[in-house]
Chains A and B, each alone.
Chain A
Amino acid sequence: MHFRKLNSISTTWAFLLAAMIAYLPANLYPVMTVVSFGKGQSDTIMSGVIYLFLHGDWPLALIVFVASVLVPLLKMFALGYLLISVQRRSHLRKQQRTRLYRIVELVGRWSMVDIFVVALLAALVNVGAIATIEPGVGAIAFTTVVILTIFAAASFDPRLIWDR
């Protein structure tokens, strides 16, 4: 038995809104730049997905798309929905909303996939002038989004769903 999470609603909103704000630069700024013979080519998360797709790696494109684009979006929407439903004291679908919360908690970390890919590529592709990979600013913003949504989910108290 533990205490109710303090100020659950306001803290969760704070994290959620911060995550939404960070979501814009996360997708607009490049997460990775491939520098080859002095020429740089930058990729945002979305353009990376498209690149994979066009090169025939569509299973991977799908994985990265789901993990890095869909999951954070859906997670933010889900948390927003949960917050609003709790603030409106809705009595409907309590079990489904609890299940939704559980899914949100479990699934959020998978968005970190892209960051790990960029870090690994930057670590490995260090072949001087031929090819070097540098992580981009978008990576910082994206990691911030993931971490903020993890905190947001952690600060939401699911017991609020069941309050009368």
Chain B
Amino acid sequence: MSQRHPPVSSYAELIACHECDTLSQIPALAPGRAARCRCCGCVLLRNPKGGLDRSIALYSAAFILLLLANAFPFLTLEIQGRSEVTNIFGASRALYHAGMGELAVVVFLTTILAPALLITSSLYVLLAVRLRRPLPALRTVLSWISQLQPWVMLDVFMLGVLVAFVKLGNMATMHVGISLFAFFGLILVTAAATAAFEPQLLWQQIGYRRGKTDAG
């Protein structure tokens, strides 16, 4: 076992399976390994390769891509000499103008707000642990990250763009902007970043209750 990456859970820890409540004792995990529940097969704990540094690198890249994707227009439609441009926000805005404010909020949440919150929150917690600084509200932020994940629907939006692209391609000319590639990259990088992120490790470092700090 490499000494450069200290093994995860070097103290014997009892973990209750998230899905079937079976208690298991987790041995120290080498990097890249995961522990699965012997009863239902659900993953209990992972030790992602590259540890914190890889997560930080990926989330930072995601942050940059997020800014790019949101700042520039990503799709242009040309029909009969007129052209219409939209950026990511355009989808929510169109719904809002059509009188469907609530729907606009949902689309805004799933395509802009949730991804932005996920990336910034993850970076916040990762950097706090990596730099060993007890930043405020760490526990609140970390617990919100797992709540946010089902609401990040960038990949679904991408499929929607594809469908819209094909639908409109029949009657008009479509142009693709920089933002679309940034968007595509964002989806891939976020997926990789989420795979490299194991909240349990961060909980172990932060401590579950206020006042209980880990020597880490």
Contacts and interface: CB of A to CB of B under 8 A. Distances in A.
A141 B156 CA distance: 19
A5 B195 CA distance: 26
Contacts of A161: 19-20
Contact of B168 (A125, A135, A159): A125
Interface residues of A, number: 49
Contacts of A112: 110, 153, 156-157, 160
A127 B80 contact: yes
Size class of the B contact interface (CB-based, 8 Å): 35 or more
Contact of B98 (A1, A95, A122, A163): A122
B41 A95 contact: yes
A116 B102 CA distance: 14
B103 A140 contact: yes
Contacts, number: 143
Interface of B: 15-16, 18-22, 39-42, 75, 77, 79-80, 82, 84, 86, 90-95, 98, 100, 102-103, 106-107, 110-111, 150, 153, 156-157, 159-164, 166-168, 170-171
Contacts of A162: 19-22, 39-40
Contacts of B100: 135, 139-140
Contacts of A1: 15-16
Contacts of A57: 166-167
A77 interface: no
A158 B39 CA distance: 13
Given A122-B94, A158-B19, A95 B40 contact: yes
Nearest to B23: A1
Given A119-B107, A127-B80, A159 B20 contact: yes
A154 B79 CA distance: 44
Contacts of A128: 82
